Structure 1
Amino acid sequence: MKQSKTSFGNIPTVKKIAVIISQMEEACQSLIWDGIYQTAQKKGVTVVAFPALSGNSIISHYPLIADFINGGNFTDVILFSGAMSEYTNWSVVERYVDTIELPVVSIGGMLKNAQSSIVVDNKDGIIQLVSHLAQHHEKKRIGFLKGPESNDEALERLDAYIAGLKENHLSYDSSIIFQGSFSAESGRDAARTIVKRNISLDALVCADDESAIGAIKEFQRHNIHPPTDIIVTGFDDVPQAEMFSPSLTTVRQPFYEMGVAAVEAVLNHGGRSVIVKPTIFVPRNSCGCIHHSVQEFRKTLPRMDNDTPPSPARIVATLEPVIKESLKTMRYYSAESITTYRHFLENAIKKYIMTFLAP
């Protein structure tokens, strides 16, 4: 097992962590970095980020960074291994870790030569998603847009999709499985293929949000509008997912919490460990869920006793289940969020009640 450097000469007496990240500007990695940085600040630990991707190549910067870290005064390394594996195969990532002379915590993939590995449960979230499409929306022909062949998480999501089909007694059809690359462009390519070949699909499950958003934009360009014409879903719950139109049904990865867990793993060195973080299925409008909830709410308005019109407080009370479900689709929400939104709605309804109740 690799050992942290001890205190002598100019070697630090406290933890100083080198964080090898592919791209700081990439949404998922940025959220993980927030968790790392803020936890390190609280714990009095120094962290230094090294963006390592050069173009789409790992050849130049990654080796230089390893050499610099080995020769510097760092005690530990956090490696975004899942992000690195998008551009190479897993054996190359493992060989790269062997070149690092310090204990390594891996984020995004299980590495046999890492001190600890922080991973997510890719399987449960995808199975929940497929089951939701099959049972709640009664969809039968559900396609899948894969991630990179070299990425373990992408392969796990494909396996989970197949397991989800099986659980819901749906047949597997390789002709509606499309190769992707965790990118908007791969989503656009898949959508173009579906349109060009006139492939009949009820839904397209994408291995990541970027691909899903790219697919939706391309479908819309061809006058095919999710969720009415086809359901499209993602995986990750990047910030853009809840602001996109339609808001994206997805599976939320606990990115910030993964960053927290990585720093804690550095500080709690023991035996080798694998820390699995749960994912959360998040239904939104790209499968029709939020739109459906609002429609159901409007149906309740005429049945509200003899209020003519019903009071703003009564409307908000009826709407509260929808408020709670909608806010739960946001990455960060709390009981205070519900209270704040309730007050906002009451005031808005007081001002615009006649417009709100118009058919």
Structure 2
Amino acid sequence: MHRSSRRLLLQASASSLLGLAIRPALAQPAASTLPKGNITLVVPFAAGGATDVVSRLVAQKLGERIQRTVVVENIGGGGATIGAAKVARAAPDGHTLLMGTIATHVINPLSMAQLPYNAQTGFTPISLIATVPNVLLVHPSVKARNVQELIALVKSQPGKFSYGTSGVGTPPHLSGELLKSMAGLEMGHVPYKGGGPAMADLVAGHIPILFDVLTGAAAHIRAGAVRTLGVTTRERVASFPEIPTLAESGVAGYETWTWNAIFGPAGMPRPLVEELSLALQAVVALPDVQARLKDLSATPVGSTPEALTTLVRTETEKWRAVIQSIGGLKRD
């Protein structure tokens, strides 16, 4: 099982995210096709988490660029399905957008029998915003200072430890299940409605272990409120070069990550999609947005709708193999 998981993950790492940075110019509409009035950006997680942090940055800058008020609405719960379903049901007029993630468009469709939306046909891809590592954290009271010590500790007391995440079926949840499978651990899963509540409970000592998205955890790591054991990507991240990867910490072949991307409801007019995509690409290219995303340990992208469509397709195939290799995701 472990060798198979490593092989599949190594194959998965070959996905060409670099190609997404190649953004051919789109024809600028002669007149604005944007809706009048406010635009709502639905974040399918609770406030304070990683996706929320990125969303509020993008919403502010997008609003300034298109001269509209872009309001962030947090709709957590259901492993991000509740918020995503609301956008899928909305009118395709540009008033309602979704900050989608690998959870809403890849993991949930692969692991949920009853999904309240169709990830392939229920949305209009607009632009990939950024890619983000996940991170393994523990409360300072946990007597483990690295990944191998944590594995040994959990194995010595089977069933005693549990780990928190931003919800069932989210990238951090998959990260935890993959570690359990590859290291042979018995750990319970404590799902929250977002990374913010989960981090609050880790800092307070209510849960001992947390898998989180690095953008949401960065401030707590810098403040020394938690102990960081490893990042989940194949290579270390530039913003925290001192943090080792799980792969180099003894879990060979381990690799997971997430991403943030803007989608609208299915059926949006092409000129509207192009105008929003161009605006979002311009927002991500702003020096202060680039700096802020990198400070949050996210890699800025800003892509065409076609590149985002390709990403969802390739990520679906990659994670299908990974989820199958660990025997599926258990929905608590």
TM-score by shorter chain over 0.5: no
User: Shorter chain as normaliser: what TM range?
Assistant: 0.3 to 0.5
TM-score (norm 1): 0.39
Considering fraction of residues, name the structure with more helix.
1
TM-score (norm 2): 0.42
Considering fraction of residues, name the structure with more strand.
2
Higher-RCO chain (CA-CA 8 Å, sequence separation at least 6)? 2
